[in-house]
Amino acid sequence: MTEEEAVFARRSVRAYFERPIEEEKAARLAEEAERCNAEGGLCIRLVRDEPDAFRSFLARYGKFSGVSDYFAIVGKKGKGLYERAGYYGERLVLLAETLGLNTCWAALSFSKGAARRAAKIGKGEKLVCVIAVGYGKTQGAPRRSKAAADVMRAQDPPDWFLRGVEFALRAPTAVNQQKFRFTLTGEREVFAERLGGFYGEIDLGIVKYHFELGAGKENFVWRGQTGGKKA
Ligand SMILES: Cc1cc2nc3c(=O)[nH]c(=O)nc-3n(C[C@H](O)[C@H](O)[C@H](O)COP(=O)(O)O)c2cc1C
């Protein structure tokens, strides 16, 4: 499965089999996390065989079961951390999907204390959220989506822009809020913004990653992007 196919196949999955992730696949995930850390100035780690974070009341209330592996999305406190967390976390989500694994972002329904301990959060670091990963008991369920017209502003948009928006609408967002907007501000310039909501900055990073995949990075530049990715 390609990364593009993964965009269309992925759905959040909360119930997992106890089947462990094979060493080879876990190594691929951990290596990619290291690459994301180097590029994005993050400290993401893959936590394995640690069932406590998803055993709490909150996790069960959120319908999670059988989770023992997850990415701890961690970074140094600082500007842009949440957006970068979303952007690189989603890259890991899509890689997991291409490897035949399922995932679910969790910012609320898990035990922060257990995850902090397991991920050994250091001084100056922040645990932004986690992403459950493993073999799902289902492949998730379809959900409602906003229409393209609800999340974009453009006159005579080119195909690459529409494809970017289509991919962004397939992205996970907290409580499926989809509170984002893409505006075509020049022939090849796009402005992405969050329109409030819980965890809107993480969502923005996630949908920007999807937009780039759909639109093709070679076709446009982000307006307001400084290029400085370090926290
Ligand atoms: C930043 C973020 C935080 C999330 N936190 C939780 C959570 O705490 N509990 C949960 O059950 N789902 C959580 N989700 C999953 C969303 O509910 C899910 O992505 C959304 O409903 C869209 O469904 P889909 O992922 O199947 O497309 C979160 C998603 C994102 C992007």
- 172 within ligand 1 shell (Cβ under 6 A): yes
**Token duo for residue 41:** 């100035």
Q: Give the bridge partners for 102, in sequence order.
A: 134
- 111 within ligand 1 shell (Cβ under 6 A): no
| The ligand 1 atom nearest the CA atom of 108 | 8
Contact (CB, 8 A) for 75 and 128? yes
Domain residue ranges in the chain = 3-134, 148-222
pLDDT at 58: 84
Quick check: do 3-134 and 148-222 share a fold?
A: yes
Backbone angles phi, psi at 132, to 5 degrees: -65, 140
What's this model's pTM, rounded to 2 decimal places? 0.96
pLDDT at 226: 52
Distance CA 210, CA 54 (A): 27
Give the H or E element holding residue 221: strand 221-222
- 101 within ligand 1 shell (Cβ under 6 A): no
Distance between Cα 61 and ligand 1 center (Å): 14
- 168 within ligand 1 shell (Cβ under 6 A): no
Distance CA 56, CA 219 (A): 45
- 85 within ligand 1 shell (Cβ under 6 A): no
Give the H or E element holding residue 172: none
CATH class of 3-134: alpha beta
- 143 within ligand 1 shell (Cβ under 6 A): yes
pLDDT at 91: 98
Mind listing the pLDDT tens digit of every residue in the chain (231 residues)? 999 999 999 999 999 999 999 999 999 999 999 999 999 999 999 999 999 999 988 888 889 999 999 999 999 999 999 999 999 999 999 999 999 999 999 999 999 999 999 999 999 999 999 999 999 999 999 999 999 999 999 999 999 999 999 999 999 999 999 999 999 999 999 999 999 899 999 999 999 999 999 999 999 999 986 543 333
pLDDT at 228: 39
Query: Given CA atoms 59, 63, 68, 69 in this order, what sign does their dihedral have?
Result: negative
Distance CA 31, CA 48 (A): 14
User: Is 46 strand, coil or helix?
Assistant: strand
Residue among 170, 227, 203 at smallest CA distance from 85: 203
Distance CA 199, CA 104 (A): 15
Distance between Cα 2 and ligand 1 center (Å): 22
pLDDT at 227: 43
- 104 within ligand 1 shell (Cβ under 6 A): yes
Distance CA 4, CA 137 (A): 23
Fold of 148-222: NADH Oxidase (3.40.109)
Q: At what angle do helices 81-98 and 200-215 cross, to 10 degrees?
A: 50
